[in-house]
């Protein structure tokens, strides 16, 4: 039974999509979760894109053990040198270099003919091999590349020393049958391809990323490039949790296996959601709240008779607990740590006190603390880090259903420099009023583009969770807030957004435009 390597690019392809940016510490949190999942390769970033990306890749290379750490680069000497330097601390490292091969990219983006692209591809792989033995080459927009030319490029880079060749569906254009046929043809046609790993990287523009990745496996691919929750450019990438569970659940068809510890899928998915400030949709396959829920009477009757009537996977296999242990204000540290461990979270010594403080505060505010409440506290705590410089000290909101006066929000922010500021804002709703007050304090232009709210657990005292996207001075950011008061949760989400914007503005650095392979 062949092994399928799982190449996770959440920190690179996923992070570069609008509203999904992560701080340095947050990237390390996600990288640790990916290592716990036992992914084979973590693509940590694009070191040549900016000093911040370089530092993040270097930190992941230095601190994360287990998976191979990869860095992306164009077939440009400066890019490759930066990638090699950033990866030096890694025990197992891979340089992932790429150039576009399709006619439209050659003509409109690169301004190169076939011979020039081929020359750059070979030179890039040869230079990358001088930094490490593990080199991946990607033919960007390979799916729309002429077959014979694609085969010629792949043969040349294999001869130059590439150990993995990736054929990406950069714009999500292909269909499963086409994928199987192409990968089978390449496996049978390209000289030397039997001695390297063939990889697939699919985007989800037509909703076919997972299906196309599985089809590539049927055609001979032995590495799947994917992301947690399917995050990524435009409509996203192949979702790691979906493709892994498809291979596991339908091993009768695919006859292959991965090294993934599937019991950590739910935890990793929800950590990424908290870090990036984006909900996991309730109906999301594998990790959504409704993935193992049954409300229909017919379904419930079948489940009571035999769970296999309507469940093809066990919730426990993906890290969803079948029971809910209810904690309360008298629960101690050990009970909380033990429950967190049962849910798949190993709490670091340095974060336990902070989590316990939030737990006790929540337990005082509501009667019962459910698993979902505890998970929200843990992921919210782990999603934090270097967000500063602002913190919310006080908030008062007055909302009016009718009347001449508009809703108002008064709040006090503390800055890390020791100063505080208080402002009152008026708006057409409480959230808009909070925005106006924050704009008055920070001087930022904040335009909310998306707001979602939900109840975390059960009961009238349930925690509320808010995720929000907003443009701050023209750049889009996301934020996440958690409170038993849903308006306060919205304020926390907005605060995270202005902190992301503040940090970003403070470290604006000269950088080349981000090029990527998708």
Which residues are known binding-site members for Mn(2+)?
13, 201, 203, 237
The set of residues, in sequence order, having a beta carbon less than 8 Å from that of 373 and lying 6+ positions away, is 362, 366, 456, 457, 462, 463
Q: Could you write out the DSSP letters of every residue in 93-104?
A: EEEEEEEE-SHH
Q: Render the burial of 405-418: b for 16+ CB within 10 Å, e for the rest.
A: ebbbbbbbbeeeee
**Would you say the C-alpha torsion 494, 498, 503, 509 has a positive or negative sign?**
positive
For residue 157, give the 3-state DSSP assignment: helix
Residues of the binding site: 13, 201, 203, 237
Q: Is 451 helix (H, G, I), strand (E, B) or coil?
A: strand
Burial 241-252 (b: 16+ CB within 10 A, else e): bbbbbbbbeeee
Residues 157, 174: Cα–Cα separation, whole Å: 24
* Burial state string for 138-154 with b = 16 or more CB within 10 A and e = fewer than 16: bbbbbbbbeeebbbbbb
The neighbour count for residue 505, using CB atoms within 10 Å, is 12
SS3 420: strand
- DSSP assignment letter at 16: T
For 301, the token pair is 């009757």
**Residue 467 parent element (H or E):** strand 464-472
For the chain, the residue count is: 518
Alpha-helical (H) ranges within 330-485 are 333-342, 349-365, 371-383, 430-442
Q: Distance between CA atoms of 174 and 181, rounded to whole angstroms?
A: 11
Helix (H) or strand (E) run with residue 392 in it: strand 390-398
The 10 Å Cβ neighbour count of residue 330 is: 7
> CB-side exposure of 176: number of CA atoms within 13 Å?
10
- Judge contact between 459 and 511, C-beta under 8 A: no
Contact 18, 474 (CB under 8 A): no
**Phi and psi torsions of 166, nearest 5°:** -115, 135
Residue 385 φ/ψ region, left for φ over 0, alpha for ψ in the -120 to 50 degree band, beta for the rest: left
| Burial profile 62-80: b = 16 or more Cβ within 10 angstroms, e = fewer | eebebbbbbbbbbbbeebb
- Measured between alpha carbons, how far is 282 from 403 in angstroms, rounded to an integer? 37
Q: Where are the beta strands (DSSP E) in 83-202?
A: 93-100, 135-140, 164-169, 197-202
């Amino acid at each position: 039974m062949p092994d399928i390597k799982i190449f996770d690019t959440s920190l690179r392809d996923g992070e570069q999509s609008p509203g999904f940016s992560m701080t340095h510490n947050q990237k390390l949190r996600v990288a640790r979760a990916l290592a716990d999942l036992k992914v084979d390769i973590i693509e940590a970033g694009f070191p040549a894109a900016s000093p911040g990306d370089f530092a993040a890749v270097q930190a992941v290379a230095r601190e994360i053990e287990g998976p191979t750490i990869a860095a992306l680069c164009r077939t440009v000497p400066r890019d490759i040198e930066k990638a090699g330097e950033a990866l030096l601390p890694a025990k197992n490292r891979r340089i992932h270099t790429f150039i576009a091969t399709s006619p439209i990219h050659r003509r409109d983006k690169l301004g190169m003919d076939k011979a020039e692209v081929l020359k750059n591809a070979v030179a890039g792989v040869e230079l990358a091999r001088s930094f490490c033995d593990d080199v991946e080459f990607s033919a960007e927009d390979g799916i729309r590349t002429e077959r014979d030319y694609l085969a010629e490029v792949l043969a040349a880079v294999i001869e130059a020393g590439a150990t993995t060749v990736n054929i990406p569906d950069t714009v999500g254009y292909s269909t499963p049958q086409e994928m199987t046929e192409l990968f089978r043809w390449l496996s049978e046609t390209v000289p030397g391809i039997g001695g390297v790993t063939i990889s697939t990287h699919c985007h989800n523009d037509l909703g076919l990323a997972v299906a196309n990745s599985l089809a590539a496996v049927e055609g001979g691919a032995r590495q799947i490039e994917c992301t947690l929750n399917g995050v990524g450019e435009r409509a996203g990438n192949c979702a790691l949790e979906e493709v892994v569970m498809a291979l596991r659940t339908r091993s009768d068809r695919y006859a292959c296996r991965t090294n993934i510890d599937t019991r950590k899928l739910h935890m990793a998915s929800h950590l990424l959601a908290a870090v990036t400030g984006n909900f996991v949709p309730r109906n999301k396959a594998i990790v959504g709240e409704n993935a193992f829920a049954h409300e229909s009477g017919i379904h419930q009757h079948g489940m009571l008779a035999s769970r296999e009537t309507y469940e093809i996977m066990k919730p426990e296999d993906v890290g969803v607990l079948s029971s809910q242990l209810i904690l309360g204000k008298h629960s101690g540290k050990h009970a909380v740590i033990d429950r967190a461990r049962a849910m798949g979270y190993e709490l670091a010594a340095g974060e336990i006190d902070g989590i316990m403080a939030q737990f006790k505060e929540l337990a005082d505010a509501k009667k019962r603390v459910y698993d979902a409440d505890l998970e929200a506290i843990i992921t919210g705590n782990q999603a934090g880090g270097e967000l500063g410089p602002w913190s919310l000290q006080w908030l008062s909101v007055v909302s009016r259903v009718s009347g001449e006066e508009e809703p108002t929000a008064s709040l006090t922010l503390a800055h890390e420099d020791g100063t505080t500021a208080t402002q009152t804002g008026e708006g057409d709703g409480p959230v808009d009023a909070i925005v106006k007050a924050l704009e008055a304090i920070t001087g930022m232009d904040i335009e909310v583009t998306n707001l979602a709210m939900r109840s975390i657990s059960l009961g009238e005292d349930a925690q509320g969770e808010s995720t929000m996207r907003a443009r701050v001075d023209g750049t889009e950011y996301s934020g996440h807030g958690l409170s038993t008061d849903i308006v306060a949760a919205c304020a926390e989400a907005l605060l995270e957004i202005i902190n992301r914007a503040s940090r970003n503005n403070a470290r604006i650095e000269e950088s080349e435009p981000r090029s990527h392979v998708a």
